[in-house]
């Protein structure tokens, strides 16, 4: 007997299976304060298969070391087949991400991917609203770039603590309407990014979001007030601590209407109404 | 010449448990085999152990369930699984077409529930053996862990033994006061093999929030941090029983695996290391074969127990 293929719900990565590969860092660009955009090489099949919302798991330690033990999940920010690179957005808020941000160009990373499900743009959606907070900017950025390439209208709302924490405007394709909010008012709206959401909820055919949990809760309130029952629903990319990335260890589960499901394979993207809001 | 890596983990059982090689992904770290077939040829493994199955479905513990510790991790997944009935409807039909032996890990909180599950599994296709997790609270003994008491460990083993002719592996808890006493108790009740160690109970506190990191408060410690404890216990148990011992605990390299074989393990299980390196179990099989060949060994058996006086005379 040969191998029995895994069912589609466990073989993440869409039309290709995830693989472990060596990715050489080609570029490290400081962005959003202390964060970095890190571009590394990847196999062509991985780059072309990676979809907005999917992630890779990077081993963030020196060879032979055991700390930190587990890989770090990082949403794909950009997949560029011409340059042969994947780019991730990394904020150094833990030991693993701090290690990754310290690595110079030329470092060879141990990468597993592409992993997880992806944002699903409905065939008839023409106007897309992105709502992002902090490093949650990454997965919706890839979606926004891809959407404008396909001629769709995109409004991208990004919130940060201050102007320094925002994605610079030159990163954003000019077709995208880029609107920002800062907690200290140093740029754009003075307040939360979700304060901006009501203005766009009627306009948008679809809403996509990634950011911290309080932002999701606030977004959900806006949606319940201004967009109740409208289809397609709102898609959220949820962040969890992960171990295996393949749906085996059940360390990264999210509570949904169909039970506790691993967010590495059945997520990280969920329909808002599928999540259980405690 | 390619060294012989085959191992017989149930030499006294007519239903046999002969593996092509001694490398086995551990329970809880490998799902049901399907998850990892996305990234490796699962059929090349010696065997694999399924996620722990319980009498009823369990939704597991609240999040967070895992956290990293120095050279290790804590987990408190809480045995999230579909329960024995749903499990039987799904997996045996898939595994019966597989080459790799599938070992089912069972957990329960009462002796009769262990027996019930062993009976249910006995005639299922595609199941090579049962691994009995005795690191569970016994609800009829005030929640005291089965695996910490020789009498209760013996009770579970006897009940499972009577309920099935499948090879039975009993997985020992490192929390037992005297692991040798437990090992001898389960061996005398007809266990075909012993596996150890399960995780060590640990805890981590987030000093910023001033609360335990894991929602369940305590979790099982695994990874390289526990390896010296595991090697010691494998060494002691291999000295005390005649049945095969399957060693595990923080194996993350060929050298780690060799320590367990030399301590007296006939086979090994790989757990936490697979999370960081999904390719590690298959790579280990090749590395082990090359290591033995380079030293002129015709068989893995020649190094099993070489560091353990009980095995004196073996392989010489």
List, by residue number, the catalytic residues of B: 136
Q: How far is CA A274 from CA A136, A202, A259, A277, B262, in A?
A: 20, 22, 10, 9, 51
What pLDDT does A4 receive? 36
Provide the mean pLDDT of chain A.
92
Q: Are residues A107 and A174 in the same domain?
A: no
Residues of chain B with pLDDT under 70: 313-316
What pLDDT does B313 receive? 62
Domains and CATH numbers, chain B: 7-62+77-204+223-311 (3.20.20.70)
- Give me the interface pTM, i.e. the ipTM: 0.93
The CATH number of the domain where A87 resides is what?
Answer: 2.40.30.10
A7 in any annotated domain: no
What pLDDT does B136 receive? 84
What pLDDT does A19 receive? 94
Q: Which of A242, A260, A267 to mutate to test the interface with B (most CBs of B within 10 A)?
A: A260
The structure tokens listed for A105 are: 């160009």
> Domain of A191?
127-237
Distance from CA of B87 to the nearest CA of A (A): 15
Facing A249 at nearest CB: one of B29, B41, B42: B29
Q: How far is residue A247 CA from its own chain's centroid?
A: 18
All residues of chain B having their beta carbon less than 8 Å from the beta carbon of residue A260 are 59-60, 80
Q: How far is CA A104 from CA A27, A28, A29, in A?
A: 8, 7, 11
* Dist. CA A246–CA B34, nearest whole Å: 10
Helix ranges restricted to H, B141-209 = 150-163, 179-188
Q: How far is CA A250 from CA A16, B180, B205, in A?
A: 22, 32, 22
Given an 8 Å threshold on Cβ–Cβ distance, is A249 in contact with B66? yes
The CATH number of the domain where A223 resides is what?
Answer: 3.40.50.80
Given an 8 Å threshold on Cβ–Cβ distance, is A244 in contact with B35? yes
Q: Are residues A131 and A220 in the same domain?
A: yes
* Nearest Cα residue to B5 out of B308, B305, B312, B288: B288
Q: Could you say which of A115, A148, A173 is where a domain stops? A: A115
pTM, entire model: 0.94
Mean pLDDT of A31-56: 97
Distance from CA of A20 to the nearest CA of B (A): 8
pLDDT in tens, A187-243: 999 999 999 999 999 999 999 999 999 999 999 999 999 887 788 889 999 998 999
- Cβ-Cβ pairs closer than 8 A, A with B, add up to 124
pLDDT in tens, A127-159: 999 999 999 999 999 999 999 999 999 999 999
Task: Say if residue A12's pLDDT is above 70.
Answer: no
Neighbours of A22 (CB within 10 A): 12
Q: Are residues A92 and A145 in the same domain?
A: no
Tell me A61's DSSP state.
S
Distance from CA of A153 to the nearest CA of B (A): 36
Q: Are residues A192 and A94 in the same domain?
A: no
A163 in any annotated domain: yes
Task: Say if residue A5's pLDDT is above 60.
Answer: no
What pLDDT does B314 receive? 54
All residues of chain A having their beta carbon less than 8 Å from the beta carbon of residue B97 are 1, 4
* Dist. CA A89–CA A94, nearest whole Å: 14
Mean pLDDT of A180-191: 97
pLDDT in tens, A227-257: 877 888 899 999 989 999 999 999 999 999 9
What pLDDT does A1 receive? 34
The residue of chain A with its CA nearest to that of B41 is A3
């Amino acid at each position: 007997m040969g191998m029995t293929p895994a069912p589609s719900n466990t073989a993440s990565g869409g039309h290709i299976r995830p693989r472990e590969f060596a990715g050489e860092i080609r570029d490290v660009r400081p962005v959003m304060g202390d964060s970095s955009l890190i571009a590394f090489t990847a196999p062509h099949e991985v780059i072309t298969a990676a979809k907005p919302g999917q992630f890779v798991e990077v081993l963030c330690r020196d060879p032979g070391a055991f700390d930190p033990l587990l890989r770090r999940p990082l949403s794909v920010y950009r997949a560029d087949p011409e340059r042969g690179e994947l780019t991730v957005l990394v904020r150094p808020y833990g030991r693993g991400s701090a290690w990754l941000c310290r690595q110079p160009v030329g470092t060879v990373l141990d990468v597993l991917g592409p992993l997880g499900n992806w944002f699903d743009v409905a065939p008839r959606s023409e106007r897309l609203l992105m709502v992002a907070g902090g490093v949650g900017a990454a997965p919706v950025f890839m979606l926004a770039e891809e959407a404008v390439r396909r001629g769709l209208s995109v409004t991208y709302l990004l919130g940060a603590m201050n102007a320094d924490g925002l994605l610079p405007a030159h990163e954003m394709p000019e077709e995208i309407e880029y609107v920002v909010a800062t907690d200290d008012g140093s740029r754009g709206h003075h307040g939360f990014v979700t304060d901006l959401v009501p203005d766009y909820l009627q306009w948008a055919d679809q809403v996509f979001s990634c950011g911290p949990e309080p932002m999701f809760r606030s977004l959900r309130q806006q949606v319940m007030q201004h967009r109740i029952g409208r289809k397609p629903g709102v898609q959220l990319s949820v962040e969890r601590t992960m171990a295996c990335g393949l749906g085996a260890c059940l360390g990264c589960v999210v509570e949904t209407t169909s039970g506790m499901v691993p967010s590495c394979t059945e997520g990280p993207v969920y329909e808002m109404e599928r999540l259980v809001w405690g | 010449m390619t060294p012989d890596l085959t191992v017989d983990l149930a030499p006294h059982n007519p239903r046999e448990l002969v593996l092509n090689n001694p490398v086995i992904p551990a329970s809880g770290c490998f799902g049901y085999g399907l998850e990892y077939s996305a990234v490796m040829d699962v059929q090349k493994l010696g065997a694999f152990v399924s996620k722990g199955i319980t009498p009823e479905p369990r939704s597991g513990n609240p999040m967070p369930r895992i956290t990293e510790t120095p050279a290790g991790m804590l987990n408190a997944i809480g045995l999230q699984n579909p329960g024995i009935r749903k499990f039987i409807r799904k997996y045996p039909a898939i595994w019966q077409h597989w080459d790799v032996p599938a070992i089912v890990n069972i957990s329960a909180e009462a002796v009769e529930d262990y027996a019930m599950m062993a009976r249910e599994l006995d005639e299922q296709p595609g199941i090579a053996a049962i691994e009995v997790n005795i690191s569970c609270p016994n609800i009829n003994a005030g929640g005291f862990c089965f695996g910490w008491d020789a009498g209760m460990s013996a009770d579970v083993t006897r009940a499972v033994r009577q309920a099935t002719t499948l090879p039975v592996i009993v997985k020992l808890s490192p929390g037992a006061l005297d692991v040798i006493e437990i090992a001898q108790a389960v061996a005398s009740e007809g266990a075909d093999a012993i596996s150890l160690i399960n995780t060590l109970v640990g805890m981590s506190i987030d000093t910023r929030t001033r609360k335990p990191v894991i929602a369940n408060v305590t979790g099982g410690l695994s990874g390289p941090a526990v390896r010296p404890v595991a090697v010691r216990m494998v060494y002691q148990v291999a000295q005390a029983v005649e049945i095969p011992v399957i060693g595990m605990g923080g194996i993350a390299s060929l050298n780690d695996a060799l320590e367990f074989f030399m301590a007296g393990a006939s086979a090994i299980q790989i757990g936490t290391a697979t999370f960081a390196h999904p390719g590690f179990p298959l790579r280990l099989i090749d590395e082990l074969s090359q290591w033995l060949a380079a030293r002129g060994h015709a068989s893995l058996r020649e190094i099993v127990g070489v560091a353990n006086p009980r095995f004196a005379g073996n392989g010489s």
